Chain A
Amino acid sequence: MAPARSSPASSPPPTSLDGLVAAKEIVIACGPGGVGKTTTAAAVGLQAALHHGGKVLVVTVDPARRLADALGLEGIGDTERRVPDDAFRAAGLKPRGELWAAMLDTKQSWDALIRRHAPDERTKDEILRNPLYQNISGRFVQSHDYIAMERLYEIHASSTYDLIVVDTPPTRNALDFLDAPERLADFFSSRLLRWLIVPYRSKLVNVATRPFYQIADRILGTQFLADISEFFVLFQSMYDGFVERAQSVTRLLSDRRTTFMVVSTLEAVPLREAEFFADELTKRRLHLGAIVLNKVLPGYFTDPVATGTAAAMKEQAADLAAALAPDLAAAGPELGDEETIRRVLGEVAESFLNFHVVANRERDERAHLAVAPEVLCAVPFFDTDIYDLAGLLRLGEQIWSG
């Protein structure tokens, strides 16, 4: 009997972003700050819209102004907008599908959440007016993490898009946003919350909790404690809705249709953080689909022949200048000065040898990468910023087909 054909589940994993993204509904771009996460997410969304068709949405947190401009996102809050055909035409592109973009506005999203979950008008108004709520929704760091995932869930549940690419907010700890839904659920079911709410309901404080209030009173003052209580009594009415929602968000993150794309550079600090992050994803049984390494120096910087040429150029700069002077003088009399040519050759060689040191370190880092995603790709150092569809295209093409 012939050996059984391997089941589809054990077929080899995709080796390119193209293959990876084709099978997913959600791609979450994450990683340390300052590595080009937003740009990479946008570039992946663009490639998907170009090649896979359907409706693709890129949700970004804080895009560079010119990038926001290119995507038609300037000043629109968190409504989803379609990237206009004109923008594609200007870049000489004819996408098979539609590219949509949205910018995450934490405050607006929180308010929308309250409106949805509040049991009645009065509760809704009181929460929206509560100074503590305004503080939390506006400034509170973790609220960004939670709301990003919440918004993702909402958009996915609307089943409007074939693919959603999400750029995660820069967090103090890259993992915060993964825990945010769960933490919020914990938060609402904690005994402490009940403790805090008790004095608001009745003046009856039992012996066990009295020391807690005495200390809290001394530190925070009674009025503030009452404010907190009021806030949570109001929130309590939305408890079920919130916890259920938080659990659904967690389920969506670990769903087979969701994959994570860790973005980093090859610099030591961001790379360690990205490795740690990738490791945690695996531990949580979340899908580590790809690692994208941005701003990688061109491969020629580690090429031994080129390096030898640069070294020779530096050493023999004076002789070379003498040999080249007639050629250059023929192009323009002011170009034939031997001393200037020698200096230029020296600088050119020196620059190469400098970057050679950095490129070697990068190569070493890459070779010893401690995690194994399905897809690993590198984006070369672009000499200019990426701020339009053409730039996104250039970046996307580097990583799309592997």
Chain B
Amino acid sequence: MSSLLDLRLVFVTGKGGVGKTTVASALALLASQRGKRVLICEVDGRGDVAGLYEAPPTGYQEREVLPGLFVMTMDTEASLREYLKLQLRIPVVGRIGPLAKAFDFVATAAPGVREILTVGKFCYQVRERQYDLVVVDAPASGHIIGQLAAPQAINELVKVGLIRSQTDWMLDILSDPARTGLVAVCTPEEMPVNETVELAGRVRTETTVALRGVVVNRVLPELFGRQEEAVFDALCSARPRRRLDGLVGEEAGTVLAAARLAVTMRRTRAAHLDRLRAGIDPAVPLFFLPYLFARSQGLRTTRQVATSLGEELGF
């Protein structure tokens, strides 16, 4: 199977709080470091992506924040305006005004319209070949299905009209596993794993997009092998601990207890990883990213994640 970075359009999704935006940003950074011209699009725009590159917030107009790496924030109204101009040849000067309201209304009433403008924009970028790779920091896993299934849903609802004719080439791009793929991010915890397994099933049955990988984020380090764990257990018993207290200070017991917490946490999480592996099609690879014991989020963290991701992808 070809590498993730050989795709033209990658949607990155995941349950809230698992580090979806960080992974998407790292993936885009990695691709740009490997010489590709990359666009990363933020859909639930709060400007987090630009922040992860230490760049000022971006808008609908893409901006190069690092060499070969462009960032944009999705804005459906701007996308509509562009769409009208490019596809329907309806020039729109300034704000759309009443049309925007009408659009808002129809988009709210008719599920899929907003989504198709979003997905349409990405497909358009792919078709125009201005970038080698478009990475989408997509909506959380609860909402991604609606977005990816939108062209098909529109096909079912809208029988004629220009939108209908637009959805065909979008579906072509979205359904092509050589060009488009979905990456799910999760952490080795109960709910994220449940949601990822469920997502994998729904992606297969409700969309035409291929799940190309699951990134397991924040994997805790394994502290001990089996022999070492026996030694650790022995160290925690009363006599050695008292001796240790005497040698390095009163809090040796606390330090040992902290390690015990880390070991248990890792073990609980390992069980969830087994469940994840069992619940996902064996052909879909899992990529593991270590828990980062870092001070904060920012370009340094994004680089570290990109490096780990590169190792997992075999670079």
Chain A: residues with CB nearer than 8 A to chain B?
32-35, 64-66, 131-132, 135-136, 139-142, 170, 172-173, 187, 190, 192-193, 195-196, 212, 215-224, 227-228, 231-232, 265, 267-270, 298, 300-301, 303, 305-306, 308-310, 312-313, 316, 320, 323-324, 327-328, 331-332, 334-335, 337, 340-341, 343-345, 347-349, 351-352, 354-355, 357-358, 360-361, 381, 383-385, 387
Contact = CB atoms under 8 A, between A and B. Distances in A.
B159 A223 contact: yes
B251 A309 contact: yes
Given A135-B157, A300-B258, A308-B251, 19 more contacts: A66-B190, A135-B153, A142-B108, A212-B98, A219-B162, A220-B110, A221-B164, A223-B158, A228-B106, A269-B21, A305-B250, A313-B255, A344-B228, A344-B232, A347-B223, A348-B223, A348-B232, A352-B255, A352-B259
A131 B157 contact: yes
Chain B interface, >50% SS class:
helix
Nearest to B109: A228
Contacts of B142: 170
Given A347-B224, A347-B259, A385-B189, A220 B15 contact: no
Interface stretch (B207-215, B261-269, B281-289): B261-269
A265 B268 contact: no
B278 interface: no
Contacts of A196: 105
Chain A interface, >50% SS class:
helix
**Interface size for chain B: under 10, 10 to 19, 20 to 34, or 35 or more residues?**
35 or more
Nearest to A138: B111
Contact of B234 (A212, A223, A331, A360): A331
A283 B243 CA distance: 57
Contacts of A335: 230-231, 234
Contacts of A64: 190-191, 194
Contacts of B159: 221, 223-224
Nearest to B16: A33
Contacts of B192: 34
Question: Lowest 4 CB-CB distances: which A-B pairs, in order?
Answer: A33-B16, A34-B17, A221-B161, A354-B293
Contacts of B205: none
B178 interface: no
B143 to A, nearest CB: 6
Nearest to B163: A219
Given A172-B143, A223-B159, A347-B223, A306 B106 contact: no
Contacts of A216: 102, 106
B56 interface: no
Nearest to A228: B109
B110 A331 contact: no
A220 B158 contact: yes
Contact of A312 (B228, B231, B248): B248
Contacts of A232: 109
A351 B110 CA distance: 52
B55 interface: no
Nearest to A301: B258
A334 B163 CA distance: 73
Given A220-B161, A352-B259, A357-B295, A344 B224 contact: yes
B231 A220 contact: no
A33 B146 contact: no
A172 B231 CA distance: 48
Contacts of A215: 90, 99, 102
Given A132-B110, A221-B161, A328-B231, A312 B16 contact: no
Contacts of A222: 160-161
A140 B21 CA distance: 23
Interface in B84-141: 88, 90, 98-99, 101-102, 105-106, 108-113, 139-140
